Amino acid sequence: MKNITVYDIAREANVSVSTVSRVLNDTAPVKASTREKVNKIIKKYQFQPNALARSLISKATGTIGIIVPDITNPFFPEVFKGAETEARAKGYTFFLCDTEGDYERESEYLSILKEKRVDGIVFLGGRINLARCSPKLAEEVTELSKQIPVVLVNGNLPKSSMYRVMTDEAAGAELATRHLIEMGHRDIAFLGGYDAMSTTSQKVKAYKRIMKEAGLPVRPEWIIHDGLSIESGKAMMGQLIGMKERPSAVLCVNDFTAVGAVKEAIERGLRIPEDISVVGYDDTHLSTAIIPELTTVTQHTYELGKQAVQILHQLINREETRKLTLFQPELVVRQSTGPYHELAPKVE
Amino acid sequence: MKNITVYDIAREANVSVSTVSRVLNDTAPVKASTREKVNKIIKKYQFQPNALARSLISKATGTIGIIVPDITNPFFPEVFKGAETEARAKGYTFFLCDTEGDYERESEYLSILKEKRVDGIVFLGGRINLARCSPKLAEEVTELSKQIPVVLVNGNLPKSSMYRVMTDEAAGAELATRHLIEMGHRDIAFLGGYDAMSTTSQKVKAYKRIMKEAGLPVRPEWIIHDGLSIESGKAMMGQLIGMKERPSAVLCVNDFTAVGAVKEAIERGLRIPEDISVVGYDDTHLSTAIIPELTTVTQHTYELGKQAVQILHQLINREETRKLTLFQPELVVRQSTGPYHELAPKVE
DNA sequence: GTGAAAGCGCTAACAC
DNA sequence: GTGTTAGCGCTTTCAC
């Protein structure tokens, strides 16, 4: 029952523990015959060296912590998948920390990850998406990053120069807005996210800029920031439809809200895209799961995770690497957007 | 830059390391004044004891490994969330291992988790869903479970008596089949999964049984096992529709395939549920994301994960606990199923 | 090629 | 109450 150790192996093989260690790590030449003898006993007992003891000496654990706000939002599993595939190839295992966007939980996990001596941390969501993150929250991360490599994905921290991997959110929103304008839409709303979130505000800013450039009016009442979930998407679309004048097209902050918006619109008897166009953001699996399939902005989620780990790996190995990796998003036109119709014609 | 240790704290506080350890763990009375002095220095350096060294002694790491076949399938994040919430409350952190259903990768991760001395393992998917798991694969897990507590979720291993948490899949399939029969359907197909998977075969068996009990014909060509993804759902529904005679209702092995089936049917011009009824399985977020919303079988995913961790926790603490926790699934009737129409009447 | 011994950072007897 | 010391299981000089 007792855990078997290098000593047990050594004793049975009539060698010293150092020799066992040598065959284990191939760190110095060992006579072929002894090596075989040792290996046989290792196999016999299925001996696996204790990674804890090893890490205590090597100061490397082969683990990475990944902090996400909601693993239930398909965007994050997709990023995770990219990260994990890359990490596995490099010999890392992941601690997955779901914070539910709660800053306190983030702090907790940060502390745990540090205690557990992870080799690096990938940080998504929560405080790094705040338009104005409190100095205290920010400092906690920047301080930690002096001790453990940290890579932020799609976020940033004030007064810091963290390593970051991100999509150009503004560019994505620009693409989406242009697309709608080119389809002849003039009355375009923006739905979802939160005022305080940088990911939201960056998109809104781009949307407003493009609208102005095109000489189109931006109506404050058509910009609603009230959540990121499917449910909130429904609610916000409901609000929009309830107004005296409603837009002919809607930009959503992510696929979740877009799906909600689409559902609500259809339930209220609107046709998509004939009566109202909707565009999402993220290009998660969800966007092709529904009917009509969502026109959305692809973020290269998998690549985002993969790059984050690559950067982290370089940091861990103390290699020079770029501070910022920026991905250019692309618009994926599917079925939820269509040309503007003055009076929605009866179709089919 | 050097990592600060209990010795550094002890020296600066003019006490011994044991005293530091005592205030750290509150494991023996310490004079209030010394305790304060020590605490001050700990705070000053933001000292956090090395969990590795701790675990080396305590033989507990406060980590659990969770093995899933595909974190991208919404079923698993939902289970994870339940597991994580429960685990966090009990002081555990999760290693998340995505195996992509690859048995070799499972073995790899099993080995890594053992090396890293996790306190327990939650196993989902892959080999534990095989109708006939090879002795070698099975043994690997049963052997491991003698050293580390393992809980299987929605699966089993031959010739073993593993701890398990599961939904009664047969009961779920029964519910779904009965529902369709009660709606007047006689021609019911079964789509998705794999022949070799127990989760599939249990459902199919129940479906066949209920059909026979109701005196309804089971047509072999209407039972198609070719995948678990949205894409495969589309393909299988495509096959079905291409047949000379097609069923009026379809049972799907999970929500993913059901979504695919619904999409394909609609694209082929069928109305749901007027022309064909579709039932999913799992009750993931996806089932309410689409239109029509999916009638499906709820598995209590969150609860499944939560229970798994509870059982695991008891095993870790060497408490007695039940071998099998069985959840009764429930049918959730939504919009994708409706009464049978001989000739689909024009509706709306 | 191989072994003895020190030490990674901590906890836990055991003394005092 | 507090300090000394021996490990936990491993790697790594440093001898031989």
Q: Is-contact A265 A236, C-beta < 8 A?
A: no
Q: Number of helices and strands (H, E) in chain A? A: 13, 12
Nearest to A115 among B51, B95, B290 (CB): B51
How many C-beta atoms surround the C-beta of residue A16 within 10 A? 13
* Residue B120 three-state SS: strand
Beta bridge partner(s), residue B326: B166
What pLDDT was estimated at residue B343?
53
The whole-angstrom distance between A164's CA and the closest CA on chain B is: 23
> CA-to-CA distance for A155 and A127, rounded, in angstroms?
8
For residue A14, with 0-12 CB atoms within 10 Å meaning exposed, 13-18 middle and 19 or more buried, which class applies? Answer: exposed
**Two structure tokens written together for A223:** 């910009």
Q: Number of residue pairs across A and B with CB atoms under 8 Å?
A: 122
Name the residue with tokens 């780990």: A309
> CA-to-CA distance for A241 and A230, rounded, in angstroms?
17
Residues of chain B with pLDDT under 50: 344-348
> CA-to-CA distance for B300 and B158, rounded, in angstroms?
25
How many C-beta atoms surround the C-beta of residue A31 within 10 A? 10
**Angle of helix A17-25 versus helix A6-13 axis, rounded to 10:** 110
- How many angstroms from the chain centroid is the CA of residue A334? 23
Q: Is-contact B191 B237, C-beta < 8 A?
A: yes
Residues in chain B closer than 8 A to A46 (CB atoms): 143
Q: Is-contact B165 B231, C-beta < 8 A?
A: no
The whole-angstrom distance between A257's CA and the closest CA on chain B is: 10
pLDDT 10s digits, A75-89: 999 999 999 999 999
What pLDDT was estimated at residue A1?
53
* Strand D-contacting residues in A 2-31, CB cut-off 7 angstroms: 3, 5-7, 17-18, 20-22, 24-25, 27-28
> CA-to-CA distance for B348 and B346, rounded, in angstroms?
7
**Two structure tokens written together for A202:** 């960056």
- pTM, rounded to two decimals: 0.94
Residues in chain A closer than 8 A to B72 (CB atoms): 74, 77-78, 81, 285
> CA-to-CA distance for B105 and B140, rounded, in angstroms?
13
What pLDDT was estimated at residue A347?
44
Q: Where in chain A is the domain with CATH 1.10.260.40?
A: 6-58
pLDDT > 90 fraction of chain A, expressed in percent and rounded: 95
CATH number for the domain formed by residue range(s) A6-58:
1.10.260.40
Contact check, Cβ <8 Å, A52/B117: yes
The whole-angstrom distance between B240's CA and the closest CA on chain A is: 20
In chain A, what is the straight-line distance between the N-terminal and C-terminal CA atoms, in Å? Answer: 73
- Protein residues contacting strand C, judged by Cβ under 7 Å: A 14-19, 22, 28-31, 33-35, 53, 56-57; B 3, 5-7, 17-18, 20-21, 24-25, 27, 49-50, 53-54, 56-58
Nucleotide nearest residue A16, measured CA to C1': C3
Backbone angles phi, psi at B151, to 5 degrees: -120, 130
What pLDDT was estimated at residue B347?
43
Which H/E stretch holds residue B315? helix B301-316
CATH 3.40.50.2300 applies to domain A63-167+300-328:
yes
pLDDT at A3 over 60: yes
Name the residue with tokens 């994870």: B80
Q: Is-contact A94 A38, C-beta < 8 A?
A: no
**Closest listed residue to residue A36, CA positions, set A51, A20, A25:** A20
Categorise residue B60: left if φ over 0, alpha if ψ from -120 to 50, beta otherwise: beta
pLDDT > 70 fraction of chain A, expressed in percent and rounded: 98
> In sequence order, what E strands does B254-329 have?
277-279, 296-298, 324-327
Contact check, Cβ <8 Å, A95/B97: no
Contact check, Cβ <8 Å, B93/A97: yes
Q: Classify domain B169-299 at the CATH topology level.
A: Rossmann fold (3.40.50)
Q: Is-contact B322 B328, C-beta < 8 A?
A: no
Which H/E stretch holds residue B329? none
Residues in chain B closer than 8 A to A52 (CB atoms): 52, 55-56, 61, 116-117
What pLDDT was estimated at residue B2?
73
Q: Where in chain B is the domain with CATH 3.40.50.2300?
A: 63-167+300-328, 169-299
